[in-house]
Structure 1
């Protein structure tokens, strides 16, 4: 049992290191590589349900054409995914969730446990 815990801990450490070391000259937050057994996030087209959304946290948009933002609007949070390859950026959003669930999803996304 302790071997499984050690392997899990080592995997988490590698994922955390990759968040900040994707490019040592870039100070931005980077998404870790996908981890085995990752959970699929349901991505939907922009709903325009909110007039405004405040960006609470975001990943680097210089090192990769794919960037994520944790957004707050109307008392709930959601993740916005923007893919900037090609002529027109493609934006998708996760479902709106209560704070604790959305922040857990955000952390899983950053650690490579969800995509």
Structure 2
């Protein structure tokens, strides 16, 4: 690799938000009693990256935002797997933020 060349990213990168993209209701992370498993994620090379998580049979999206060295984490509502997959796809395509 050439010194000034950035390393390749191997994780997904969400498309830019569409003008008419739907906004998710972001909430403060819950204090889970159950284990949270991350099942998909976007690349963390940007200031905001996302994770598709599962706990207790439901899935949600976690937003991780690094603003000037301070991390803010928010979570979406919980959904059954099929609905969560549709929401995750919409986020990756820029139809949801």
Mark yes or no: TM-score above 0.5: yes
Structure 2, unaligned runs of 5 or more: 1-5
Segments of 4+ moved more than 6 angstroms: none
1:82 corresponds, among 43, 64, 67, to 64
Q: How does the TM-score come out when normalised to structure 2?
A: 0.86
Q: Which has the higher contact order (CA 8 A, sep 6+)?
A: 2
Q: How does the TM-score come out when normalised to structure 1?
A: 0.73
Secondary structure of the residue aligned to 2:68 is coil
Structure 1, unaligned runs of 5 or more: 1-22
Give distance in 2, aligned partners of 1:73 and 1:81: 16
Which structure has the bigger radius of gyration?
1
- Structure number with higher strand proportion: 2
Q: Counterpart in 1 of 2:24?
A: 41
Give 1:45 shift. Answer: 0.5
What is the root-mean-square deviation in Å for CA atoms of aligned residues? 1.7
- Structure number with higher helix proportion: 1
Counterparts of 1:1-115 in structure 2 under 5 Å? 25-62=8-45, 64-115=46-97
